[in-house]
Structure 1
């Protein structure tokens, strides 16, 4: 059969040529998610409180909280409202996680949690942080991701922040090199020029030390209203990502600084306040397709004191984490060891309760089997990404995912867009 067309080949060639720059721009700006493992949380520890045993101590203290306030699966499930079929699996996996890998992402804080110190004291703390992270990376006890939050690029603290960054990275190199999971956080960003300054610092450090260009990336913390809407009325977040020139790895929402900058009273500053939802929706749209990942903030309600108070704080934290997950904010900040049980309980319940449905839909997509939902390639990518995130954090075992989908890890990686490096356990961050 001869198929007739009307458009000359020259027209199609001209259209291709006219869109070549757009094609290149789309590829550059929207490479898609890197597909590597991402942490479910970031643990925030002031630099003066960071010690060699910090990660192990957080795990131990979290287990002690469980033993004291919810010593078995049934009691933990009652506190959080977990259904019976999830109570045992979630409880057991939470305990195993706290014993094996209590912290996925550690951020040693030299900003608000540390405050102004004499230069000599902060110099020493930056060197010490690098030495401890380097030693942990060398002996295999480091969390998958770790780094520092430096002081911001505002004039009052800029020089101090740059010096701390330089000392930390220099000492890390001397201690054995930059760990694969190194993550740096730039706080209180208001203008793209501040991101451009961070890019220059990273580039100049690479040049001075012989590192490959682009080796050092960083997260941008969104804590000011100007980071969402500029003085000229333009949305700022996309401009911040562009200013990072491919080095931005994440956008992290700062709950309390941002809320305060909007005039929200202290009692109402929370991850679920309308101003928080607006900021994160803007961040999410700006980051979509760019490979820059979004993290929610934290709650300052700590699970401490009598059991009644601990349970109230646990229910609050669990609900906030579940709310974030449903909104595709797959990471958040934890401020206290007592937050770890509910962080992992919320994450594990989220991935386990949807395992069968996601696996069935993915298997049907691969087999092109009809059903009550007709999924498209983008949805299949999302379904496989969901399963892989569950695998990465320990919510789901590979054997479970394979049995439920009929797909091996290679097929899951391919459907999600993960490359060979990611499939081998590649770290996110810089």
Structure 2
């Protein structure tokens, strides 16, 4: 009793060392290419505002307009639940939290648009708009009125607009540096990417700016917008998006699906262009597999059906948007675009209901996993990682509170981060 019994083996230590040496390059490549979750908050949406429409009060204005839309078209929980089909047991708390969110933090991620939403302008006009955007963003972070994430979408790397896009990026970044430095929540978007070499060019711009301004290498990161067929499938039949992630050299933060440009490039008619069209599902499935494990996150696209006009028309648009957001969440696209203040109530209603309705089951399964006790589902480490990630996303956006997780599970935020494999 208590004595260690030696077991018979055949492989010697030298063999294991040779195997390890032969796989050293593979180990290093896996660690570089697939670092896992970055450990940071992912916003639930990105709001796009044309550069000429962006103002110091844009974030607050969007929240106020969203609250006004609720007051006009769904003044209480029962009214919103009836429109969206939110279960009675969730309706009151979801409605309460949506209104609180719109008052506290209506926009999680804001992109000042110098591309399609802005269009071609005289150089002097775009120069002034880029400099103004930098001043307003710097001031917003200084006075505490900024969204958690803010930045610009420049024009793309195609020949016709390349120089203009680079100049706007330069003016914006330089303006931020002159105003005190790059804010922690800075996000840049590179649109209409077709070749990995365009991503490499963006990396080179970031490198040169960092060197010129004495910034740490890798400080400037960016999103890649997937809105061309060439970004998904190259001329050689290979998945281009995976090569784009690799070309970014660790600077890519996310892949954003562009609903309308991509749909149009596939020949989809205007009336059928939507995030739930089969061509959209295919593109996003390729993006999802390419990004898995890399630390690069995904964002769904948008609907162009706006909740404006009489109440019946607003309700129809709300139902459509709510359904698309819910569908995306179920498919693990945890972020999307919102194009109008009236989309905010249904964005947060769908997100909050999604996390609240699964809270009890997720907590129960995670507790059973941690305690190694029997339950109705036998979960493995990968599922525990997914359960933890689910709870963390709910916490990040305000759908659930820390006490609602720690109470039933005994797990603090740091415990969830560890289980979820978050690097931060």
Q: 1:209 aligns with which of 208, 213, 219?
A: 213
TM-score scaled by structure 2?
Answer: 0.98
Distance 1:411 1:46 in 2: 41
Task: Tell me which residue corresponds to 1:5.
Answer: 9
Matches within 5 A, 1:230-379: 230-379=234-383
Residue 418 of structure 1 and its aligned partner are, at CA, apart by 2.9
CA–CA separation in structure 2 for the residues paired with 1:283 and 1:125: 33
1:383 aligns with 2:387: yes
The Cα of 1:123 is off from its aligned counterpart by 0.3
Q: How big is the shift at 1:370?
A: 1.0
Mapping for residues 189-208 of structure 1, pairs under 5 Å: 189-208=193-212
Provide runs of 4+ in structure 1 moved above 2 Å. Answer: none
Match runs of 1:120-131 below 5 Å: 120-131=124-135
**CA offsets per residue over residues 403-422 of structure 1, 9 Å max, x none?**
12221222122212235xx4
User: Secondary structure of the equivalent of 2:112?
Assistant: strand
Q: Which residues in structure 2 correspond to 1:59-208 (within 5 Å)?
A: 59-208=63-212
What SS does the corresponding residue of 2:399 show, helix, strand or coil? coil
Aligned counterparts of 1:23 and 1:407: Cα–Cα separation in 2? 32
1:38 matched residue in structure 2: 42
CA–CA separation in structure 2 for the residues paired with 1:204 and 1:411 = 39
Indicate the residue corresponding to 1:418 in structure 2: 422
Aligned position for 1:49: 53
Could you say what secondary structure the match of 1:25 adopts?
helix
What CA deviation, in whole Å up to 9, does each residue of 1:388-430 have, x standing for no partner?
Answer: 11000000011111112221222122212235xx4xxxxxxxx
Q: 1:18 aligns with which of 11, 19, 22?
A: 22
- Are positions 1:29 and 2:11 aligned together? no
Q: Distance in 1 between matches of 2:213 and 2:16?
A: 49
Q: Deviations over 1:199-245 (max 9, x none)?
A: 00000000011111100000000000000000111110100000001
User: Alpha-carbon deviations, 1:57-94, whole Å to 9, x = none?
Assistant: 00000000000000000001000001100000100000
Higher deviation after alignment, 36-45 or 398-407: 398-407
CA distance in 1, matches of 2:408, 2:76: 28
Match of residue 405 from structure 1:
409
Q: Quick one: distance in 2 between partners of 1:251 and 1:410?
A: 27
How many residues are matched? 420
Distance 2:363 2:68 in 1: 35
SS in 2 for 1:260: helix
- Residue 48 of structure 1: SS of its match in structure 2? coil
Q: Distance in 2 between matches of 1:354 and 1:35?
A: 22
Mean CA deviation greater in 404-413 or 32-41: 404-413
1:220 aligns with 2:224: yes
Write the distance in 1 (CA, Å) between the matches of 2:411 and 2:244: 39
Query: Cα distance, 1:371 vs. partner?
Result: 1.3
Gaps of 5+ in 1: 423-430
Q: TM-score, normalised by structure 1?
A: 0.97
Rounded Cα–Cα distance in structure 2 between residues aligned with 1:397 and 1:266: 41
Structure 1 residue matching 2:384: 3-state secondary structure: helix
Using the alignment, how far apart are the partners of 1:415 and 1:140 within structure 2?
Answer: 32
- Give distance in 2, aligned partners of 1:413 and 1:288: 18
Q: Per the alignment, in what secondary structure is the counterpart of residue 146 of structure 2?
A: coil
